[in-house]
Structures are given as structure tokens and as C-alpha cells.
């Protein structure tokens, strides 16, 4: 798993400059997103976090994207007689997800629908650092990608995005499948702004 994670990261870093120069329209997207991961392996744990992505258009209908998400909080949702209550709490188990792959879109103007398929890794690190007032356990999780808790992952997803000039919004839903004693399926939802130039 160490070699797969390292290969994926190297591919992203070396492919990025080549893809930038190969573009006809010079379109690059950069965005941030809120990340929801439903870890469902016996006991369901809802993780929430943040992430970022960068994409390079190959033509008007396809692009290559790389993204990373860090989930630092656990979401607890309960339904009471008077309605729905949700709360967030930091957790010591913190998933770090890195994915890279193509995106194919309709390019019809207005809202574009797309499908994507990516490969990468999911690292389940633990941290005893508080997340309040700083990055918390993020540096430890990035450096701990090769500590044995990293699993190869594939991600099929669908979504919609729209741009108004250089500003856009994107919503996506997919299945983060990592392999540990067989395929482990986990729902993932992202939403956030992005910029195209």
C-alpha cells in the first residue's frame, strides 16, 4: 500500500505541469469543499471535514483532477420528538483521502452534469492533538500516510456543477471504496465553491 500511495502522489505532481501546457483553452479549476464521509463498517460513523481539488481541462468534455480531504470531526445526528438535532465533535480517528482521475461532463452551459472515476488512498490515522486553534492532527496524518493504516481506494462518483463567470459551485456524491479484507463501501458527499481560469 505504501508504494501505491507514493505512486499516486508522484503521478499527480508530475502530470500537473504537462497537463497545463497541453490545454487548448487554458482552463484550470481550483476549489475547496465540505466533505461528508459515512464510514459504515459495522458501526456507522459520520465524518465531516474539508478538502481541496484542482482540475485541468483536456478538452471541453473532460478533465483530470486531483483532490485531498481531511475529516477531523464526527457528526452525531439524533431525532427527538421535537425534531432533528445534529452536533459535531472532534474525534481521534481521522480519515485522510487522496484521489486522482478523470472527470467527464456534459458541457451544455448552465449546470453541467458529470461522472468521475478516481484512484488513490484512504489513511485512517489517529491524533491526540486538539483541532481547535490550529490544524490539529493534520500534519501528523500527512506524514503518517506510510504507517500501515493506508489502504488503496477507488472512487466512482456523479455530480453537478455550474459556473457564473470564473466562480462556480459543485456538488458531488460517490462511493469511496477502500480495500481491507475485501471491498469496504463508504458514502461520500462533497459541496463547495470553485474557480475556473
CATH number of the domain that residue 84 is part of: 2.40.160.20
| 130: exposed, middle or buried (Cβ count in 10 Å: 0-12, 13-18, 19+) | exposed
Domain interval for residue 13: 2-196
Segments in the chain forming alpha helices (H): 2-21, 138-143
Other C-beta atoms within 10 Å of 59: how many? 11
Q: Between 127 and 17, name the one with better pLDDT.
A: 127
167-179 vs 183-196, strand pairing mode:
antiparallel
Residues near 79 by beta carbon (within 8 Å), at least 6 away in sequence: 85
Write the DSSP assignment of 20-67 as a string of letters. HHT-SS--EEEEEEEEEEEEEESEEEEEEEEEEEEEEEEETTEEEEEE
* Cα 183-185-188 angle, rounded to 5 deg: 145
DSSP class of 15? H
Q: What does the alpha-carbon distance between residue 181 and residue 172 come to, in Å, rounded to a whole number?
A: 27
Segment 115-136, tens digit of pLDDT: 999 999 998 877 655 444 444 4
pLDDT at 72 over 50: yes
Query: pTM for the complete prediction?
Result: 0.72
Segment 19-53, tens digit of pLDDT: 444 444 558 999 999 999 988 766 677 888 999 99
- Cα dihedral sign, 190-183-67-130: positive
Q: How many domains does the chain have?
A: 1
Q: Given this model, what pLDDT does residue 97 score?
A: 94
Amino acid at each position: 500500500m505504501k508504494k501505491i500511495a507514493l505512486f499516486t502522489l508522484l503521478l499527480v505532481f508530475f502530470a500537473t505541469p504537462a497537463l497545463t501546457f497541453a490545454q487548448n483553452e487554458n482552463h484550470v479549476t481550483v476549489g475547496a469543499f465540505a466533505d461528508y464521509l459515512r464510514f459504515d463498517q459495522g458501526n456507522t460513523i459520520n465524518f465531516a471535514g474539508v478538502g481541496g481539488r484542482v482540475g485541468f481541462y483536456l478538452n471541453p468534455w473532460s478533465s483530470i483532477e486531483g483532490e485531498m480531504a481531511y475529516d477531523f470531526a464526527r457528526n452525531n445526528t439524533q431525532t427527538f420528538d421535537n425534531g432533528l438535532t445534529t452536533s459535531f465533535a472532534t474525534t481521534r480517528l481521522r480519515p485522510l483521502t487522496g484521489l486522482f482521475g478523470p472527470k467527464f461532463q456534459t458541457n451544455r452551459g448552465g449546470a453541467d452534469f458529470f461522472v468521475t472515476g478516481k484512484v488513490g488512498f484512504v489513511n485512517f490515522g489517529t491524533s491526540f492533538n486538539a483541532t481547535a486553534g490550529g490544524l490539529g492532527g493534520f500534519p501528523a496524518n500527512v506524514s503518517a500516510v506510510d504507517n500501515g493504516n493506508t489502504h488503496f481506494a477507488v472512487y466512482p462518483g456523479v455530480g453537478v456543477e455550474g459556473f457564473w463567470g470564473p466562480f462556480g459551485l459543485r456538488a458531488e456524491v460517490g462511493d469511496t471504496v477502500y480495500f481491507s479484507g475485501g471491498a469496504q463501501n463508504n458514502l461520500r458527499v462533497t459541496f463547495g465553491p470553485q474557480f475556473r481560469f
